[in-house]
């Protein structure tokens, strides 16, 4: 995977690099308290991003640990999100890596918003229970 960074955003060289980056994020999440991680390919149905990575935690503490560990791991690779929205107390955190957007939900909020149903036409690239 070739990653270049300018002003806290990333630019990936190829579509394969972007897909690999989304999978890398899922792999990092697998080492956190995150559960039910799913990578969706939204390229054919949205211009927002190329991939969504959706995951959840059981409580505020887990959401904080999940987002912190992901941010720290990617920062060590010199990759930082273009923006972060939400926070652990709200039950939802969005980390925008331009081509890949990561949604970290509280379990209950994830069920409520049912984002996977909203994007049901998107192929599932990877699922980690």
4-35: per-residue pLDDT in tens? Answer: 444 344 455 788 999 999 999 999 999 999 99
50 SS3 class = coil
The domain containing residue 79 runs over which residues? 3-128
pLDDT(111) > 70: yes
Token reading at 13: 């060289």
| Average pLDDT score, the chain | 91
Whether 108 contacts 92, CB under 8 Å: no
Any idea of the CA torsion for 71, 11, 51, 128, to the nearest 10 degrees? -40
For range 88-97, the mean pLDDT:
97
- CA gap 29, 69 in Å, rounded: 8
For residue 84, what are the β-bridge partners? 95
pLDDT category of residue 110 using cuts at 50, 70 and 90: very high
For range 63-76, the mean pLDDT:
97
Q: Provide the number of structural domains found in the chain.
A: 1
Residue among 7, 59, 36, 25 at smallest CA distance from 114: 36
In this prediction, residue 11 carries a pLDDT of: 53
* CATH code of the domain covering residue 99: 3.30.460.10
């Amino acid at each position: 995977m070739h990653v270049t960074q300018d002003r806290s955003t990333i630019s990936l060289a190829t579509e394969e690099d972007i897909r690999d980056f989304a999978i890398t994020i899922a792999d990092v999440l697998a080492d956190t308290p995150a559960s039910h991680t799913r990578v969706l390919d939204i390229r054919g149905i949205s211009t927002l991003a190329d991939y969504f990575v959706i995951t959840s935690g059981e409580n505020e503490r887990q959401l904080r640990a999940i987002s912190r560990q992901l941010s720290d791991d990617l920062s060590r690779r010199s990759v930082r999100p273009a923006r972060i929205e939400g926070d652990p107390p709200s039950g939802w955190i969005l980390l925008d890596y331009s081509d890949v957007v990561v949604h970290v939900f509280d379990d209950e909020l994830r069920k409520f918003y049912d984002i996977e149903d909203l994007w049901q036409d998107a192929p599932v690239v990877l699922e980690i229970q």
